Structure 1
Amino acid sequence: MSVKQEGKINYHNWWKSLTLGLISLAAGGSIGPEASTTVLGSGMVNWLGDRLRLIAYSSDWKWNHFWDTIVSKKQLKKLPKFSSLFKSKLHQKVFCLIMVMIGVVGAAIVFKLFPEEGLFGIHHRHILWQWRYSMYVIIPLIVGWSFGMFFLWSEKWSDYFAEKITISPIIKATIWGIVLALLTLITSYALYSGEFQIVPFVHQALQISPLFLLVIAVIKTLSTNIGFSLGWRGGKIFPSIFASVAVGAAIAQFLPIMPVMCVAITVSASIAVILGKPLLTAILLILLLPIELAPVILVSAYLAACLTKVSYSFRQKNN
């Protein structure tokens, strides 16, 4: 939020995000690490940008300034913005592209040094394209879109009820910790974000009854949104993906199309609704699902986004 509104982040409080994120994750909260990681990453980039501005514009700059934990805010305010370091828009784009490539290469090196059946990566799978069943793809699309709307509805009402509870934030978080523990009596999938559970879950999802898969999806949705509203900090992307996979696997047991395609369409539609950004959704899911399904993922995400716009327009006219 701070980055969106002000274009910067207070990186001096990085330890708060790290501590709260680690506590929530270690305690089994149904939230992902992406939020805390984004805050820490944004803080590091902001910190580096400030140091580069010092190098470029401070006449009395010294090397020890680069490693100072705290730099005078007055001093930084007097300096031009980081964007002024670039001679042109092209120069800026080239710099950003190089930084992105460094990140991609770094990630590739890590995956190469520590190979495992990970969540991210370019996955391949033979897809049996059965065009005579193409009419059935509308079902996972509608179901995925509906589940995405349910996730957003759950998020809205979780925030609403949490605001009505006028007790200490610590007590709120403690109460939800107890409830979360009780939810594990129904399914252990109520815990954690599901990021590292998606791969093994996919392998066994079709052996789980459709009704229980839907129960898992609902519990995952509620444990994520209510927990977040009651003070458990983290991200919602991976829990929403996990819950959407459960829904996709449930309806895949009733349709004649390939289960992986049914899941891909359901998840793409659902996450496109939740994030509100179909292109970002497609890029994310292409790294999670077989690359051969990239066109299906992209089309499903944009169709779900269009359906959302039509739905909102219809409701506004009726109101």
Structure 2
Amino acid sequence: MLIAQITDIHLGFQPGDPNELNRKRLDSVLAALTADGRRPDLCIATGDLTEHGTIPSYRTLKTVFDALPFPVWPILGNHDVRENFNSVFSSLPRTQDGFVHYAFDAGPLRFVMLDTLEEGLHGGSFDAGRAAWLDATLAASDRPTIIALHHPPLESGNAWMTEDPRADWIEALHGVVARHRHVVRLLSGHLHRGMTTGFAGTTLCVCPATAPQVALDFRDLDTTRPDGRDMIVAESPGFALHYWNGRDLVTQFGSGGDHPVLARFNARMQGEVAKIVGEREPA
């Protein structure tokens, strides 16, 4: 089973411009995901779907998603507006507390889509009500489970795009996930870079953004002294492909746009490819 992940689309960064940079970057990623031989079974979109949370931007995004040859399951990020999202993506299930939480089964896997948005905050939130919902949802099935959330509960090393691992919401999430050993992966966005780490006995994977990436920087930051460092860079728009091989989830990162091809499977490569494949075939 092949699961695509896109995140941090930030559609509508240039309001009213149908040819805005973020739309072009999204289109290049979707073109890569719909190319022959690479088509996923489904796609999850892990938040910051739009820049300003406007209804027109959600309508545009829904039109894009509906045209794809696979289903897209979205969650919310800190740039999203829950009320406007709900008015456009009205077919998604809702919990009684108003959060956009839901779960679904696909193939051998279960997907739990978690709402970590606290409107007005940049960082994540996970209160007692959300913890109770997640705990009950995970307890309802022992299928291998993927949790999708926007905000990654990690200290990234980037001084301005990170979380405090001692934060109450992270400790609460850790406590719930650690109780359920069938959680095979947490998938998130928010940081505009690809990264992985361990979390609560499983693996946390952060997907690169379709929008521009955050500069790679591990230096300390003094907020009172702007030092001219790079913050947002025009690296290629990114996505993740998560391959379920029946035992584990294997994640690979890709990017949209054109890439020069340096080798193809032709007669010149046939012998080398046959040798490589033959080495892992049983005698």
Report which of the two has the higher share of helix. 1
Bigger Rg, which one: 1
Structure with bigger strand share is: 2
Greater RCO structure (CA 8 Å; 6+ sep): 1
